[in-house]
Structure 1
């Protein structure tokens, strides 16, 4: 991203519901970037999304990379990973979705590619960029003294009668809540309690997973994840207990606002050369923890 460019050119890889509902509108409305174009695995969807935001649809991903300073990726994780490596090699800074990949090898390749190319990276963990939850996480990390924590993320994506567009996602159907919403929980617990030193995992009904984690701070945490909970039981929460008492994660508002903050974070990293706490290396660590849990579940 050259200093002569007053507005860096940012492209979008992906055309699904997440890209169409969050990434595309946020990039088009962001005053600090030029929404340079869209590429997708379905050319007709790329054309429709590009037309909706007065930008260009690309049939060739390398042509889009050549026309951009950075790219945002809204694709299944194991499609994302090799394309992120390709983007970094082309000199593009990358705004990744979580999880970076569903294999440690895939996530390691992404982290290695961004480091080798000297490009900035940010992984869009929603809670780390939404204003209220980002501030809360930083405050609790600074406070310290936490004894234990419980994170709960129960979705009804796979429950009878669910009408979410994400229910048709093949990778979510295969990998379940551990990989889809597990990154959200870890993105908050790690900066507050420290890195994970041990993992215990047990299955529950449907795709439900229960985790018990030990952290470098000495604290322990429990995590319950599901995409197959009854609709009336759905909800997300993080509760911390320690010397400061009890702290509960606040509401986090819209994903679009959080995504705009993630774009800002990437731009800041590019300008300053400072790695963001949610960079590809952090994304790799989250993948390592999830892969450890998956192995203990025997999946």
Structure 2
């Protein structure tokens, strides 16, 4: 499969480009970015071609990977799907329901494959744990804490200057990760029953799930570095289950996401983390954001 990369920022450079380069089943055909000099630099580093025109890249590939801000990603994903290109997308799919639905509709109408890279879902130990807990069932409550130190004042992450992260915060950056683990175990969220702010960009959510369980989520990019990390705990008839730690890096997980895209494209069977699932995550986060905005008035 010939695949192109849309995006040249830190995430494209440290994760997407290396994963596409090393994947044995992909021909990394080229890079397009909003800054042509950055596209050339990244393309040269990986021995591929830089494109000045996104439509020229789309004409030369079977699929695209997107490492762009959500609003930019959504618009280009619709364009790529309508051109018949399979999509390896990043989370969040979009930050508005309208944009997320446009992507999901374009994927469905074009009959192309889509995979949204929720990192944890492409780590074998995590995915095995999710499957095991979903099979066990009987969960009473769940708790997810996804804490980053991006805005904590004691880090030097290249993502701290990201305009969309500064605007949308932890709800939209790490919220998708937490939901990608909780939803397949506890079932879809019937509603967001509460949403409250905490320090910095911290958000506390309470969800009511179709399986009868409730869950609480604490999401932040403003934690001190010593407090950062992710925890998911479930309690129910089977007792207590805690998500195992994983030290696996994003490049390896992205290679598996590309595997999933190849499988979905080859079989025609949607992956569980497809654009439709990405849309559902967007809908839940938008509902939480609306609650937060309403409480602030």
Q: What TM bracket, shorter-length normalisation?
A: over 0.9
Map of 2:219 onto structure 1: 225
What's the secondary structure of 2:169's corresponding residue?
helix
Map of 1:235 onto structure 2: 229
Aligned runs of 1:190-269 on 2, under 5 Å? 190-199=183-192, 200-252=194-246, 253-269=248-264
Unaligned stretches of 5+ in structure 1?
1-7
- Are 1:40 and 2:33 matched, yes or no? yes
| Residue 130 (structure 1) shift | 1.1
From 64, 79, 87, the counterpart of 1:86: 79
Cα root mean square deviation, aligned: 0.8
TM-score after normalising by structure 2: 0.97
| Residue 18 (structure 1) shift | 0.7
CA contact (8 A) 2:154 2:224 kept: no
CA contact (8 A) 1:152 1:224 kept: yes
From 53, 59, 63, the counterpart of 2:52: 59
| Residue 188 (structure 1) shift | 0.6
Moved more, 29-38 or 139-148: 139-148
Map of 1:163 onto structure 2: 156
Runs of 4 or more consecutive aligned structure 1 residues displaced over 3 Å after TM superposition = none
CA contact (8 A) 1:27 1:33 kept: yes
CA contact (8 A) 2:196 2:292 kept: yes
TM-score after normalising by structure 1: 0.96
Structure 1 distance, partners of 2:25, 2:212, is 42
Structure 2 distance, partners of 1:11, 1:135, is 30
- Are 1:272 and 2:267 matched, yes or no? yes
- Are 1:176 and 2:159 matched, yes or no? no
What's the secondary structure of 1:251's corresponding residue?
coil
Structure 2 distance, partners of 1:170, 1:22, is 20
Q: How many residues get paired? A: 292
Structure 1 distance, partners of 2:288, 2:230, is 20
Q: Deviations over 1:121-148 (max 9, x none)?
A: 1100001111111111111111111111
Map of 1:4 onto structure 2: none
CA contact (8 A) 1:71 1:95 kept: yes
Structure 2 distance, partners of 1:295, 1:54, is 45
Map of 2:292 onto structure 1: 297
Map of 1:151 onto structure 2: 144
| Residue 273 (structure 1) shift | 0.4
| Residue 161 (structure 1) shift | 2.9
Structure 1 distance, partners of 2:73, 2:120, is 21
Structure 2 distance, partners of 1:244, 1:256, is 34
Q: Deviations over 1:11-32 (max 9, x none)?
A: 1000111110011001000001
